[in-house]
Amino acid sequence: AQSVTQLDSQVPVFEEAPVELRCNYSSSVSVYLFWYVQYPNQGLQLLLKYLSGSTLVESINGFEAEFNKSQTSFHLRKPSVHISDTAEYFCAVSDRSSGYALNFGKGTSLLVTP
């Protein structure tokens, strides 16, 4: 069964600084990888996903993540964060054996301060 490890529970960062949120997964089969964002008191929203093809995927608001099969990682990056990026970020994995249900990491709380 696949599992997801998000190594940092909290990441404080100053506005306009770069950030990386780490995600590692364990699976013996082909996987699909996702990053979801949860703003306070809201449900989760899909930020970006890797299904196949290019290992670098991007979101519309400047985030990107790179699928690294050899390191079983899918780290999320942004070169310059905004106050509005403050949220909880969840990495998730799915595969055919799980019926494509999402298996989430514990989440990383990103706090952007001026």
Residue among 94, 82, 17 nearest 51 (CA) = 94
Among 29, 40, 54, 100, binds other proteins (CB under 8 A): 100
Tell me the window of 15-23, 68-76, 79-87, 101-109 that interacts with other proteins (CB under 8 A): 101-109
Among 78, 103, 110, 112, binds other proteins (CB under 8 A): 103
DSSP-derived 3-state class of residue 83: helix
Contact 35, 91 (CB under 8 A): yes
Query: Which residue number, 100 or 114, has a Cβ lying nearer to other proteins?
Result: 100
Give yes or no for residue 22 binding other proteins (CB under 8 A). no
Give yes or no for residue 44 binding other proteins (CB under 8 A). yes
Q: Which residues contact 65 (CB under 8 A, 6 or more apart)?
A: 23, 33, 35, 48, 50, 56, 57, 74, 75, 76, 77
Give yes or no for residue 42 binding other proteins (CB under 8 A). yes
